[in-house]
């Protein structure tokens, strides 16, 4: 790969330039670059990520909460993340493309599968780590099962749930970068189809993707902080909750 003369800093300036101004495609015949282009690439990226996250949450949160509430399926819930980690995102996408074909829907499905494990594990763990005495007291006051979930376990599990959402969201945003392999044009297009956009386009896309991921992380992190009850925040080790990876504690719950 040739670098344009002038070293790495020049490359970065070129990339930033790409973001803001249009120019002719190196492959000829069309205009690339500029904020409009970036947005055209980002919008499907966001759509894809958003759709996948929404579906994943709709499935994983209730299931995780319920499993945690009844105390069953722990093995599944905890090892879901372990298994999910072991499957490379590229392999997952490729698998779906090979077996189901390309397209937005198929890709969304693949991303949903990618997104579910951390949310499921965290929802389960979040409920399990609610003080048993608190739950006891709630039952003693006459709350039904679902009331206990809604009014006691869910609020107390929220920080961890959002931690899981955070992890998933960043993963999904990152993986949506290789969506063009499955026929959906996202911010990864300049990376995969470098000839159309040029080297500076590819670097620009990389920058934007990185930025998008970091912003996602920060925004969800702020949301997570916002939903953390004051009392929990003051707990020792509170700072760990900020990057709350509910790493399933393999020693305690997963029968390894």
Contacts with another protein by CB under 8 A lie at 1, 3, 7-8, 11-12, 82, 85-92, 94-95, 97-99, 102, 170, 173-175, 177-178, 180-181, 183, 188-189, 191-193, 196, 202-203, 205-207, 209-210, 213-214, 217, 237, 239-240, 243, 245, 247, 249-251, 256
Question: Residue 226 Cβ, how far from another protein at the closest point, in Å?
Answer: 19
Question: Residue 2 Cβ, how far from another protein at the closest point, in Å?
Answer: 11
How many angstroms separate the Cα of 80 from the Cα of each of 32, 114, 145, 160?
Answer: 42, 11, 25, 16
Nearer to another protein, 69 or 121 (CB): 121
Q: Would you call 101 helix, strand, or coil by DSSP? A: coil
Question: Residue 82 Cβ, how far from another protein at the closest point, in Å?
Answer: 7
Report yes or no: 152 and 143 within 8 Å, Cβ to Cβ.
yes
Burial degree of 235 (CB within 10 A; 0-12, 13-18, 19+):
exposed
Nearer to another protein, 11 or 34 (CB): 11
Q: Would you call 24 helix, strand, or coil by DSSP? A: strand
Nearer to another protein, 138 or 159 (CB): 159
How many whole angstroms from its chain centre is CA 218? Answer: 12
Nearer to another protein, 113 or 207 (CB): 207
DSSP state of 186: -
């Amino acid at each position: 790969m040739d670098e344009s003369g002038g070293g790495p800093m020049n490359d970065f300036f070129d990339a930033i330039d790409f973001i803001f101004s249009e120019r002719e495609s190196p492959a000829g015949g069309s205009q690339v670059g500029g904020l409009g282009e970036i947005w055209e690439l980002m919008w499907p990226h966001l759509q894809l990520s958003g759709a996948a996250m929404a579906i994943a949450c709709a499935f994983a949160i209730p299931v995780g909460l319920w499993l945690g509430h009844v105390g069953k399926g722990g093995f599944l819930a905890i090892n879901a993340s372990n298994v999910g980690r072991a499957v490379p995102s590229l392999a997952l996408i490729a698998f779906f493309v090979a077996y189901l074909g390309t397209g937005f829907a198929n890709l969304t499905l693949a991303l949903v599968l990618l997104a579910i494990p951390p949310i499921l594990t965290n929802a389960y763990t979040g409920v399990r780590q609610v003080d048993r005495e608190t739950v006891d007291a709630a039952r003693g006051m006459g709350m039904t099962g679902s009331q206990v979930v809604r009014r006691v376990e869910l609020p107390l599990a929220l920080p961890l749930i959002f931690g899981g959402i955070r992890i998933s969201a960043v993963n999904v945003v990152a993986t949506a970068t290789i969506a063009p392999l499955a026929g959906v044009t996202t911010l990864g297009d300049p990376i995969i189809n470098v000839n159309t956009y040029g080297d500076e386009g590819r670097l620009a896309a990389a920058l934007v993707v990185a930025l998008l991921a970091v912003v996602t992380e920060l925004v969800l992190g702020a949301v997570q902080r916002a939903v953390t009850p004051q009392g929990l925040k003051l707990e020792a080790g509170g700072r760990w909750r900020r990057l709350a990876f509910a790493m399933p504690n393999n020693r305690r719950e997963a029968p390894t």
